[in-house]
Structure 1
């Protein structure tokens, strides 16, 4: 079914986000500022997070453990799943993939090209499962690495093989964390330095507030609220536009219904042209008008700027 995008009604939604940055810049703490997070500590690095910012966690040694833990009955108390780091998650997926099919591996234990393709698809499937079936926010954390591009140095997420092309695919937001002087920032807009991803008004560079004694670690919680408030504004605007569309369609259809002959067609032209259109009303009503004129056998006389019966026009 072809649907009008203005029919979208969901304002609030779960969010999928990628965070990247150098080691030690505070990516994990930032990721755990999301609403009611479960920390999937693939890197076994929870001890590097200040105790006051730690959250409930699992430390999987295999991808099977992750699949076994991510069951609806285990996740009732959580709203966000934080994969930290996604690079290590993909490593666990690679080992799991080779067990599934030895052809996905090479003699040295690394993934083959087919293996990388399989792992990339599995990553997308896991994100889809967490988002669509578990209905959770998702935050994936990546280390950043530097790549030389001529005289320029660019930041990229640290992940092997073609899998890096898959990890961006399901994300709603993606940002790089950097230090500017004493300030930590996260950028959501593509630039010469890195790839990023912003949607629903979340663009540009945001300053991450410094955390001090007693200050809440809630940056992503507030960011997600901002994201969804913009979504709610879109829904409200769409509803208003849909109402205007319905009204003009009724007015236009009534005008067209009143056309019985050349005289009524000519009388209908000024009010029909004066209609204030919304969405696709102009195209739809013009099609209705043409169909009615054709059904009545009328012809438009350009010189006289009016409709006439076909026999008169000849």
Structure 2
């Protein structure tokens, strides 16, 4: 087991992206623009997609497991659809493994989650990105009706938890658009902070690698967040050392300015240390001159 230190930068890793939308909006066709893709077609709809790629057509989970050895030869796996795999294939599979599951839905969904996570983790270990395709369904969130991936209860919670990005694909002004940011009307997840994207026409050359480009942007964004954390930790260490050796008002002024550039959470511990140090060496802040000065001794 490898331990990645908090000061280390995480390497690029495979990502999981959920794409959901209404039937016929082009979810599978969008997946087909991934890098070296293979589609696990559990809804029998691959033949309707544009630019069809290699496809595993399965009717149950046993067939999926029989063919999973072939998946490692590809860079991206599409699961079409989430509901077919989680609610249908895997529910039948866990009940066949233990018939008592049929009467204990809570336990059954736990077993479904375990099986799906095992399958996903195998793909991650093989370095394969996963795109999970789902239809959209309406659900009530208080007084608001929202669209979310069409998967039952606990299975949907699992899917949203393990996904790096969750995007809603729809038509806006006759243009297909993909939105990862959550809205008042749609569920979303946008770790990579991607803007709303307009999908090019299928005849546009940029369409051929559109999903591959999204996946690469997500990977780069996650890695940059890791790099930013490392840089922040290094800065905190530098300032901690600077505070410990601080002696003059000029140094206090410079260090105070650098602390201001950190996040509030990073500032908290340093400010306490800074305050204690200035007090111990007889330096205080003058709000009138907005500078640090030596404390004057009273007679």
TM-score range normalised by the length of the shorter chain? 0.7 to 0.9
Distance 1:299 1:213 in 2: 68
How far is 1:97 from its partner? 0.2
Residues 282, 2 of structure 1: alpha-carbon distance in 2 compared, 3 angstrom cutoff: farther
- Indicate conservation of the 8 Å contact 1:123/1:166, yes or no: no
Residues 271, 282 of structure 1: alpha-carbon distance in 2 compared, 3 angstrom cutoff: farther
Structure 2 match to 1:283 = 269
How far is 1:125 from its partner? 3.4
Match of 1:66 among 55, 64, 87: 64
| Structure 1, gaps ≥5 residues long | 256-267, 309-314
- Indicate conservation of the 8 Å contact 2:82/2:150, yes or no: no
The worse-fitting range, judged by mean Cα deviation, of 150-159 and 82-91 is 150-159
Structure 2 match to 1:162 = 154
- Indicate conservation of the 8 Å contact 1:19/1:177, yes or no: yes
Structure 2 match to 1:88 = 84
Structure 2 match to 1:49 = 49
Query: 2:169 aligns to what SS in structure 1?
Result: strand
Structure 2 match to 1:128 = 121
Structure 2 match to 1:142 = 134
How far is 1:103 from its partner? 1.0
Structure 2 match to 1:172 = 164
1:245-260 pair list within 5 angstroms:
245-255=236-246
- Indicate conservation of the 8 Å contact 1:249/1:285, yes or no: no
Distance 1:150 1:284 in 2: 42
Residues 2, 42 of structure 1: alpha-carbon distance in 2 compared, 3 angstrom cutoff: closer
Structure 2 match to 1:197 = 189
Distance 1:238 1:112 in 2: 41
Tell which structure's C-alpha radius of gyration is larger.
Answer: 1
How far is 1:220 from its partner? 1.3
1:105 and 2:102 aligned: yes
Taking structure 2 as the reference length, the TM-score comes to 0.77
How far is 1:154 from its partner? 2.9
How far is 1:76 from its partner? 4.4
1:223 and 2:214 aligned: yes
Query: 2:167 aligns to what SS in structure 1?
Result: strand
Structure 1 match to 2:286 = none
- Indicate conservation of the 8 Å contact 1:11/1:228, yes or no: no
- Indicate conservation of the 8 Å contact 2:72/2:128, yes or no: no
Q: Alignment length, in residue pairs?
A: 279
Deviations 1:168-222 (A, max 9, x none): 110000011111121011111212212111112225x221111127664221111
Please tell me the root mean square deviation across aligned C-alpha atoms, in Å. 3.7
How far is 1:142 from its partner? 0.7
